[in-house]
Amino acid sequence: DNTAAIAKKFKQIGINKVKHPEKIVIPLDHCVPAATEKYATNHKEIREFIREQKIENFYDINIGVCHQVLPEKGHIIPGTLVLGADSHTTTYGAFGAFSAGIGRSEVASIWATDEIWLRVPETIKINAKGEIPSGIYPKDIILHIIGDLGADGALYKAVEFSGKVIREMDIGGRMTLCNMAVEMGA
């Protein structure tokens, strides 16, 4: 649903054509169904932009939230770079991708040029050993880690989760860890 604002930024920088529409995935997910006229207008503008730019990877309302939809539809590939205008884009780390949330202007620039300048971040490796006690869940684990590192403890850093606990964790648990890594600045 950020796409309407990104499309406006894209046009503001004077570019008319997305460089690689096949690399763009746009779901309508956070504000559906449109509860206000403003959201309905945004959805209309997004659909128009999709048609104009011939973006095929578009998921209209009622398919789900992007963090579920993109992996389920095969858009998240291990070893790739995934950038999005949603702070919880970090979720895709659960699938072995390097993923990060970036600003709308940066997304518009990528759409125009297919390039971005990124500094390779320092990595914090978290090695989770031992057994998870009964009643402890992945969200408890990540909240504990965030408590230890602080809200800015991983600012402009990559976080790598490893160890027996992570290896034995299901994909939903790994998605929870990665989704919430942004809450410590990752």
pLDDT tens by residue, 169-178? 999 999 999 9
pTM of the model: 0.91
Residues of the chain with CATH 3.30.499.10: 3-113
Tokens of 70: 């993109």
Pairing between β-strand 81-84 and β-strand 98-101 as defined by DSSP bridges:
parallel
- Give the containing element (helix H, strand E) for 83: strand 81-84
What fold is seen in the domain 3-113?
Aconitase; domain 3 (3.30.499)
- pLDDT at site 1: 61
- Return left, alpha or beta for 25; rule: phi > 0 is left, psi -120 to 50 is alpha, else beta: beta
Pairwise CA distance, residues 54 & 76, whole Å: 21
Q: Residues of CATH 3.40.1060.10 domain(s) within the chain?
A: 122-184
**3 state SS for 5-22:** HHHHHHHHCCCCCCCCHH
What CATH code is assigned to 122-184?
3.40.1060.10
**Average pLDDT along the chain, 186 residues, taken 10 residues at a time:** 81 91 93 88 94 96 92 97 96 97 94 94 96 96 97 95 96 98 94
Name the 3-class secondary structure at 87. helix
In angstroms, rounded to a whole number, what is the distance separating the alpha carbons of residues 89 and 59? Answer: 17
Q: Retrieve residue 23's tokens.
A: 């690399």
Count of C-beta atoms within a 10 Å radius of residue 129: 9
What is the CA 24 to chain-centroid distance, rounded?
13
Find residue 59's DSSP bridge partners.
27
- Write down the pLDDT at residue 33: 85
